[in-house]
Amino acid sequence: MSVGARPGRAAKRLISEMKDPTALHLQLDKENMDIENANPARRRASADGMSDGGSPRQSLQALWSEAGGSSELPGASNASHEADRLHHRRAASSNIHYGRRGSKDSSTGQRKSPSKHHGGGSRKHRRTARVARQVWLAAFAAFGAAFLISVHVFLYRALFASDGEGEGGIGHQPGRLRQPLRLQPSSSGEHAAKKKQITLAPEDEVARMTLDEARDHRLASLDDRAIDKDQYTIRINTWRRDEQLLLSVDHHASCDGVKEVQVVWCDSENDPPDALVQHPSGKVRVERHEINSLNERFKVLIDPPTLGILSLDDDVLRPCAALDAAFLRWTRHPDRMVGFDARTVVAVDEEGDERKVDGATASSRWKYGYMSTTERSNEYVMTLPRAAFVHRDYLDLYTMALPREMYRFVAENLECEDVAMSVSK
C-alpha cells in the first residue's frame, strides 16, 4: 500500500477479499503498523486507543466508520458473504434481461430494470393493435372484392342480358333493367339495329351453285403459270385494330414469297389508315366491303394474282421461313388446306359422354373441340382459316355453293366460318 492511500478504502478492500478471521487480524495488524509508521499523528491516536483497552477490531471499526459512516462491520461469515454474492448475481442477471428497455438512474448512472408487469402490458397492447390492424385490412379487402364483383355483375346484366332468355335467366331479374344500356341516342340505336340486320348482300341471298356442282368442279392447275408455285397472295381479315393490322402488314409484306397483300376491310363507317393505303412496299391493296360478316373474308372482290391464298387474321404473325415452308407443302397438295391451327370435333351420346369421331352413332350429337380437346385427342378434322393456305377456287365455292342456312348462320352469329369452309371444301 502506498503512503498517500486512504485508510478507509484499504479497509474496505481487505474486508471484501479476506474470508479467514485469523488471517484478517494478522493482515489488519500489518496494515495498521504501516499506517502508523507512515503517519505519526495516527500512530499516537492508535496508541491512545490501545491504551484505553481497544483491540485491532475496534481500530478497524473506527476506520470503517470514517470510510462508510457506520460503525457496524459487515458479517465475516461465509454464509453472509455468499448471500451478498447471490444478491449481486440476481441483480446483474435482471439488468441483463431488461437492459435494452430499462431506463438509467439519474444518481448512479446505472440502467434500471423496468417492471415486468409494465413490459408485458406494453407487448400485449402492441400485439392487440397489430391484430386489429390486420382484421381491418382483411375486412377492407373483402369489401373491395365484393364491390368489384357486384359492379361486374351489374355491367354484364345491363350490357349482355336479353329479353329472349327464360324467366329465371339473366335477362329477367326482378328490380333490374331488362334492356341493355343505350350508349347512343335512341334514333342512332334504331338505325344501327336496322343496319345490323343486313347480313347478306342481295346477290348472296340465293346459292348460285349446288353442292353436286361444287364437288364436280375442277381446280385450276398450278402448272399453267410459274408464279403459282413461287409466290402467294395474303388476304388479311380485320376489324378496327389498325395498330395490329399495320404491324401484320409491315411484317408479311417484307416476305419474298408474298406477291400481294389484300386487306379485307368491312368497316363501312371508317376509312382505312393512310399508312395502309399508301404502304411503301407497293404490295398492299384494300378490298372494301359494305357488310360486316365473316363470310366476307372468302368473298373475292379484287382478283388475286396467284392461285395460292394465305388466309390470315390481323393478330397472326408468322415468320417468313415458316410461311414459305407451308406454301411449299401446299403446292404439293393444292386440293387441301395447309395451315398452322387445327381443331377436331367430338361426338356426344345420349348420356352426355364424349366419344371420338369413329365412335359416333346415329343418335350422337356433334360438339366443337377446342385446342385443349384437339391436343388431348391428338387428332384433327379441320384446319382453321385464321392462318392457312387454300386454293383460290375454294373461296368462290364457299360464296356460291355453301347452303344458305349455314351461310346465314355465320353472318348472323359471327362464328363457325372455319367449319363452313371445311364443309364447302
- Would you list the domain boundaries of the chain? 7-76, 209-341+384-424
Read off the pTM: 0.54
Residues in the chain, pLDDT under 50: 1-7, 19, 45-47, 49-53, 70-77, 95-107, 113-118, 161-196
What is the predicted pLDDT for the residue at 97?
A: 43
Residue from 204, 393, 396, 418 carrying the catalytic annotation? 418
Residue 335 among the catalytic residues = no
10 Å CB burial of residue 8 (0-12, 13-18, 19+) is middle
pLDDT of residue 396: 94
Q: What is the pLDDT of residue 406?
A: 92
Instruction: Give the pLDDT score at 364.
Output: 73
pLDDT at 110: 52
User: What is the architecture, at CATH level 2, of domain 209-341+384-424?
Assistant: Alpha-Beta Complex (3.90)
Per-residue pLDDT tens for 217-273? 999 999 999 999 999 999 999 999 999 999 999 999 999 999 999 999 999 999 999
Q: What is the pLDDT of residue 155?
A: 76
